[in-house]
């Protein structure tokens, strides 16, 4: 991981498989955080449920905007979350290698 990387607020969704369990999070360093989920280095929901596939993300100008969006997504229905993923990533492929880790 590059220590000199610029921080970029992001909201993201991890899944364990296509149409499986979903986890929504917010971070200022998406490549690092997605790697942590993939490798299971932090105990918690994603490790317990095997949510190690980055299936959707959205970049934001500020952390405040990212947190607001995260809360909006968490409060929404599962169908809306699945629709977001399907629009960007219909095959639910792991986007980890596409984010410039």
Query: How many C-beta neighbours within 10 Å does residue 95 have?
Result: 18
How far is 46 from 13, CA to CA, in rounded Å?
11
pLDDT tens digits in sequence order for the chain, 101 residues long? 455 567 999 999 999 999 999 999 999 999 999 999 999 998 999 999 999 999 999 999 999 999 999 999 999 999 999 999 999 999 999 999 998 75
- What is 26-59 written as a DSSP string? EES-HHHHHHHHHHT-S-SHHHHHT--EEEEEEE
Q: What is the pTM of this model?
A: 0.91
Fold entry, domain 10-96: GIY-YIG endonuclease (3.40.1440)
């Amino acid at each position: 991981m590059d220590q000199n990387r610029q921080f970029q607020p992001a909201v993201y969704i991890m899944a364990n498989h296509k149409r499986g369990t979903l986890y929504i999070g917010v971070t200022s360093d998406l490549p690092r955080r997605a790697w942590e989920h993939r490798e299971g280095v932090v105990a918690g929901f994603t490790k317990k449920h095997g949510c190690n596939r980055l299936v959707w993300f959205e970049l934001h100008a500020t952390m405040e905007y990212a947190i607001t969006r995260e809360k909006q997504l968490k409060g929404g229905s599962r169908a809306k979350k699945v629709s977001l993923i399907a629009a960007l990533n219909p095959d639910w492929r792991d986007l980890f290698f596409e984010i410039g880790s």
